């Protein structure tokens, strides 16, 4: 039965990886994979000889000797445990996405366009790379990429020139997302899973992430594509949608940055702080929009007025633009990985991996886990989605809070995806927005991303002994 579950998982994984070829949204195989895996676990529970307790990170003693009802009860408890952990991540992401959409509702990101004051390509490259690095640490790398490429499209007329900038934005955004607990979905998973803390994540990964962004950008600035001046598209001065654009930008970004501070002070899960931040931003959004509506349902004649008011609510408008397919994809993939974890498959695979792959260097920095294993995780994230890879690593390794292994996992999974355009959410969205060819990216940008990844990894290995 375990073999069948693994086959179902692998087939679902392949369908997710080949999303563009199959023309099938990746949330579909993710949800099917989750449901089928857990259904097979429940139906074949009497055939399993081991069960993995995620809370204790160890196998349950005497599982094979339990009666059918006790095994089913344990399955239900485990399913509820994993759903709770997954819901923490999803609610957190929903809050962050809504704040970003509220900022966009007020056209807040147009403020960033005013930072571009030069026509020199190399200077524009550095401006966008630094903006991508900083913004992705605050609003996540996917959103930062969307925002900056949207701005880039308004500034640079030639698509042939834009795709070079877009390629470097992907590298910078993924590097920026790695050192922040709210900068990348995978880093957020490690943070919410109590594997990394905000302060230590910044201490361990800020310098490697900066070099991962700066070295490729420096090399690229000497390439022919970034020589000379850019042809700026002359356009009439755009009228901002709202006089509160800048205020909402800074309020929204500040509210998101407040979340790790709230967690440090209260020790509550991050989604609680995110909900507080969302409530504060939504309050100001409603005040600024001068919208009049009631949150409670209205009956009779007032319902039409309620509906009309709701359409003008920035909160309602922002919630309607949330990427729900992404949320459902995360639900499917995280719960599917949880099924493999619960059967002890990931735990046993990690043991085999650690015994098979040789150690790099003379010191066992990760309590028996090779640096090469973690770097291969980064390379793997360029080929397949990094979310399930990190979810799998949570089930494979048992190291505690702020062990350097988790910080290296955060860096490798976050930045390794830049090596292929399909290897990260930032790359996929840039591919869609600019119709970037897979092989063009592989030929022109991948080698820069690889250099950044290797330089950042080497920097981490050298500096980790300092913390």
> Rounded mean pLDDT of 238-257?
79
- Asked, for residue 122, whether it belongs to a domain, the answer is yes
Question: 231-238 long-range CB contacts below 8 Å, 24 or more apart?
Answer: 231/156, 231/157, 231/158, 231/161, 232/119, 232/155, 232/156, 232/157, 233/154, 233/155, 233/156, 233/157, 235/154, 238/110
- 413 or 62: which leads in pLDDT: 413
User: Which of the four pLDDT bands, split at 50, 70 and 90, describes residue 97?
Assistant: confident
Percentage of the chain lying above the pLDDT 90 cut = 24
Q: What is the DSSP string of 242-285?
A: -TTHHHHHHHHHHHHHHHHHHHHHH---HHHHHHHHHHHHHHHH
User: Which of the four pLDDT bands, split at 50, 70 and 90, describes residue 459?
Assistant: very high
Q: What's the burial of 153, exposed, middle or buried (CB within 10 Å: 0-12/13-18/19+)?
A: middle
Count of other CB atoms within 10 angstroms of residue 114: 8
| pLDDT value for 460 | 93
- Asked, for residue 152, whether it belongs to a domain, the answer is yes
Q: With 60 as the cut, is the pLDDT of residue 338 above it?
A: yes
| pLDDT value for 244 | 81
- Asked, for residue 281, whether it belongs to a domain, the answer is yes
Greatest distance between any 2 Cα atoms in the chain: 77
Half-sphere exposure of 122 (CA within 13 A, CB side): 11
Which of 190-194, 296-300, 377-381 is the least confident region? Answer: 296-300
Q: With 80 as the cut, is the pLDDT of residue 14 above it?
A: yes
DSSP 8-state class, residue 186: H
Phi, psi of 53 (to 5 degrees): -90, 105
| pLDDT value for 308 | 47
Q: With 50 as the cut, is the pLDDT of residue 465 above it?
A: yes
What is the count of structural domains for the chain?
Answer: 1
- Asked, for residue 187, whether it belongs to a domain, the answer is yes
Three-state secondary structure call for residue 128: helix
| pLDDT value for 178 | 92
**Separation in Å, CA 264 to CA 254, 267, 397:** 16, 5, 25
| pLDDT value for 426 | 85
CB 423 within 8 A of CB 381: yes
| pLDDT value for 297 | 44
| pLDDT value for 235 | 46
Tens digits of residue pLDDT in 118-151: 778 888 899 999 999 998 998 888 888 888 888 8
Q: With 70 as the cut, is the pLDDT of residue 170 above it?
A: yes
> Rounded mean pLDDT of 371-390?
80
CB 3 within 8 A of CB 40: no
| pLDDT value for 437 | 83
Tens digits of residue pLDDT in 269-305: 889 999 999 999 999 998 888 644 444 444 444 445 4
Percentage of the chain lying above the pLDDT 70 cut = 87
- Asked, for residue 215, whether it belongs to a domain, the answer is yes
Q: What's the burial of 404, exposed, middle or buried (CB within 10 Å: 0-12/13-18/19+)?
A: buried
Domain holding 208, by residue range, is 103-320
Three-state secondary structure call for residue 107: coil
Question: 20-24 long-range CB contacts below 8 Å, 24 or more apart?
Answer: 20/422
**Mean residue pLDDT across the chain:** 82
User: Which of the four pLDDT bands, split at 50, 70 and 90, describes residue 358?
Assistant: low
Q: Positive or negative CA dihedral for 49, 332, 424, 96?
A: negative
- The Cα–Cα gap between 305 and 323 comes to 28
Helix (H) or strand (E) segment spanning residue 383 = helix 371-383
**Separation in Å, CA 23 to CA 11, 17, 20, 29, 252:** 16, 11, 5, 12, 35
Q: What is the DSSP string of 406-438?
A: HHHHHHHHHHHGGGSTTSSHHHHHHHHHHT--H
* Pick from 219, 299, 301, 284: nearest CA to 248: 284
Q: With 60 as the cut, is the pLDDT of residue 105 above it?
A: yes
Q: With 60 as the cut, is the pLDDT of residue 439 above it?
A: yes
pTM of the model: 0.74
- 278 or 314: which leads in pLDDT: 278
CB 371 within 8 A of CB 360: yes
| pLDDT value for 303 | 47
- The Cα–Cα gap between 154 and 318 comes to 23
Phi, psi of 241 (to 5 degrees): -65, -30
- 204 or 467: which leads in pLDDT: 204
- The Cα–Cα gap between 165 and 152 comes to 8
Which single residue is written with the structure tokens 């501070």?
261
- Asked, for residue 358, whether it belongs to a domain, the answer is no
């Amino acid at each position: 039965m375990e073999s069948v579950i693994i086959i179902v998982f692998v087939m679902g994984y392949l369908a997710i990886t080949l999303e563009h070829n199959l023309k099938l949204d990746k949330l579909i195989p993710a949800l099917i994979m989750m449901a089928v895996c857990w259904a097979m676990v429940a139906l074949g529970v009497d055939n399993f000889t081991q069960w993995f307790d995620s809370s204790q990170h160890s196998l349950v003693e005497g599982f094979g000797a339990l009666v059918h009802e006790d095994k089913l009860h344990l399955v239900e408890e485990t399913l509820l445990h994993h759903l709770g952990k997954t819901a923490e991540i999803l609610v957190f992401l929903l809050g962050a996405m809504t704040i970003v959409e509220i900022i966009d509702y007020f056209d807040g990101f147009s403020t960033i366009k005013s930072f571009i004051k030069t026509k020199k390509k190399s200077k524009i490259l550095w401006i966008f790379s630094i903006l991508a690095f900083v913004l992705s640490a605050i609003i996540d790398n996917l959103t930062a990429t969307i925002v900056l490429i949207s701005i880039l499209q308004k500034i640079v007329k030639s698509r042939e020139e834009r795709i070079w900038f877009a390629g470097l934005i992907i590298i910078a955004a993924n590097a920026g997302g790695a050192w922040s607990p709210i900068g990348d979905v995978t880093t957020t998973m490690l943070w919410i899973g109590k594997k990394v803390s905000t302060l230590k994540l910044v201490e361990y990964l800020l310098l490697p992430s900066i070099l991962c962004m700066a070295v490729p950008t420096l090399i690229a600035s000497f390439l022919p594509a970034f020589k000379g001046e850019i042809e700026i598209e002359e356009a009439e001065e755009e009228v901002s949608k709202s006089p509160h654009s800048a205020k909402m930008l800074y309020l929204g970004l500040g509210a998101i940055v407040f979340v790790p501070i709230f967690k440090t002070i209260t020790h509550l899960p991050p989604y609680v702080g995110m909900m507080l931040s969302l409530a504060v931003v939504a309050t100001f959004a409603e005040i600024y929009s001068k919208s009049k509506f009631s949150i409670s349902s209205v009956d009779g004649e007032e319902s039409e007025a309620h509906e009309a008011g709701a359409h003008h609510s920035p909160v309602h408008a922002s919630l309607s633009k949330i990427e729900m397919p992404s949320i459902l994809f995360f639900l499917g993939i995280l719960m599917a990985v949880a099924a493999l974890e619960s059967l002890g498959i990931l735990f046993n695979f990690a043991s085999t991996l650690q015994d098979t792959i040789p150690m790099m260097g003379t010191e066992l920095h990760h309590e028996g886990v090779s640096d090469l294993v973690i770097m291969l995780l980064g390379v793997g994230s360029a080929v397949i989605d990094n979310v399930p890879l990190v979810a799998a690593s949570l089930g494979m390794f048992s190291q505690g809070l702020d062990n350097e292994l988790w910080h290296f996992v955060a860096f490798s999974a976050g930045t390794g995806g830049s090596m292929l355009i399909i290897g990260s959410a930032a790359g996929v969205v840039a591919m869609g927005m600019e119709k970037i060819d897979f092989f063009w990216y592989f030929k022109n940008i991948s080698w820069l991303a690889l250099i950044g990844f290797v330089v950042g990894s080497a920097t981490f290995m050298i500096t980790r002994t300092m913390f």
